[in-house]
Structure 1
């Protein structure tokens, strides 16, 4: 009788998942706040600012890894992600992407506020005098083609997973990650070859803040897709249960669309 009462108390009578107490949200928030503070220190050329930013970013990556590890364990091995839980996760990812849209909207607002009505302090012209802008039809256009192709390959991956075509899913996801790495490498090369820097007035500020944060989002998306790739190799993504990849694909398509706006507005129109 006692054992029956104990079992009835521990039996779950709802489809929701009440997560166990975890230190990772607090540590991840603390690491993100530290990244923001040390990033400002680095931009203002504080002593050891770059080192502190690197350390904070490493701690943020560690927090992401252990947090995602727990979520994967709850989903794959403990079976807590029921249909209702997955629906809630979908709404959460959608709201997160909406918040990211507003985040980039602020950068576009700053760019168009400065470029549509350039002030007398920058010569009343855009781009400001003395700024040698980048040619949009060289590396930026190549990166545009690369991201568009990666959008095709990640859609190929999604359809392959749904159709249970394992080899095609692995191949297409691997190609997506390779294209992402190529994009980041070309953007780093472009930054190194540019004649202006973040401190070179309003053009440098708006250019590097918008394209740099997009590059950071590409990096985060690449990490997420890499985790999905290893999970796919370990048979953790199935036809019925692959929301981890699905959310990464949504995020990657968002990154693609943002880059199209960046290319048209900042590289093409804003650099002419």
Structure 2
């Protein structure tokens, strides 16, 4: 996915041979979802399933990307393949937009409709002690009159979420600098700024891991902490996973840049990863405002 060659060996439209990679990637993701679901529900074997799934999935991606890179550098990808990749990445990012829209919609519905409805006069006989206040910060006071949700504290915007916002915005700027350096045929400069971008992504993930540990042990905020806890961890957790995937993309692009791949005019592999990273930045801005401030 670096350049479309124009020499005579380039096929009109490259069709890859049958591959096992889609099946093994799906198998790895199956064990990831199965393990994660069981782990959060108290089954210790879920952690091993999650780890095994990640190993299978990441191993598949490594060999799959290696084959695609070999095909690209071998001159198999024409301009038509380049256009196909661009449309594919565009639709993929659109699907990710809809993915996060579903979770933002769940949060919106819970805050604007569900909680006020449960606190209305019509439900007073059913749940007389309920108080329609967001977020539900104490058992028996709001969302858990029966005491089924342990007391917890909410997560504010200071300091880690704000620091992470600055980190992601900075990473978007460094990625843009690297892109312009590549277009200007300044490969060493592009590699330098790409490494900075990758390090910023790793720093973001480190801060988020610390935030989760702080939330769990000091704030009592868990995935089981009512609708607030479930929406908080679903939104921020899935975003963190997308940051992890985006960071891996940028890491491989950086290594390819250092090996001499991509040209100033042909570098969609770089551009596709950049599109994805900027999408992650925009989603985080929405999370930062809606989850941490409102």
Find the counterpart in structure 2 of residue 139 from structure 1: 160
Find the counterpart in structure 2 of residue 128 from structure 1: 136
Kept in 2: contact 1:147–1:180 (CA 8 A): yes
Find the counterpart in structure 2 of residue 84 from structure 1: 80
Kept in 2: contact 1:42–1:49 (CA 8 A): yes
Find the counterpart in structure 1 of residue 270 from structure 2: 245
Higher helix share: 1
Find the counterpart in structure 2 of residue 16 from structure 1: 13
**Residue correspondences, number:** 258
Please list the CA deviations of residues 45-71 of structure 1 after superposition, one character each: whole Å capped at 9, or x if unmatched.
Answer: 123111111111111111111111111
Find the counterpart in structure 2 of residue 212 from structure 1: 237
Find the counterpart in structure 2 of residue 184 from structure 1: 205
1:151 positional shift: 0.4
Find the counterpart in structure 1 of residue 24 from structure 2: 27
| Alignment map for 1:25-174 (pairs within 5 Å) | 25-76=22-73, 78-117=74-113, 118=115, 119-120=118-119, 123-130=131-138, 131-174=152-195
Structure 2 gaps, min length 5 = 1-7, 120-126, 139-151
| CA distance 1:115–1:29, shift in 2 (3 Å) | same
Kept in 1: contact 2:21–2:64 (CA 8 A): yes
Counterpart secondary structure, 1:133:
coil
Runs of 4+ in 1 over 4 A off after TM superposition: 11-14
1:13 positional shift: 9.3
What RMSD in Å do the two structures reach over aligned CA positions? 1.6
CA distance in 2, matches of 1:237, 1:123: 59
When the two structures are superposed, what TM-score results if normalisation uses the length of structure 1?
0.91
Please list the CA deviations of residues 195-224 of structure 1 after superposition, one character each: whole Å capped at 9, or x if unmatched.
Answer: 201111111110001000000000001111
1:34 positional shift: 2.1
Counterpart secondary structure, 1:63:
helix
1:241 positional shift: 2.4
| CA distance 1:13–1:240, shift in 2 (3 Å) | closer
Counterpart secondary structure, 1:240:
coil
Structure 1 gaps, min length 5 = 1-10
When the two structures are superposed, what TM-score results if normalisation uses the length of structure 2?
0.84
Please list the CA deviations of residues 127-183 of structure 1 after superposition, one character each: whole Å capped at 9, or x if unmatched.
Answer: 113231122131101100110000000011111111101121011101101110110
Kept in 1: contact 2:137–2:154 (CA 8 A): no
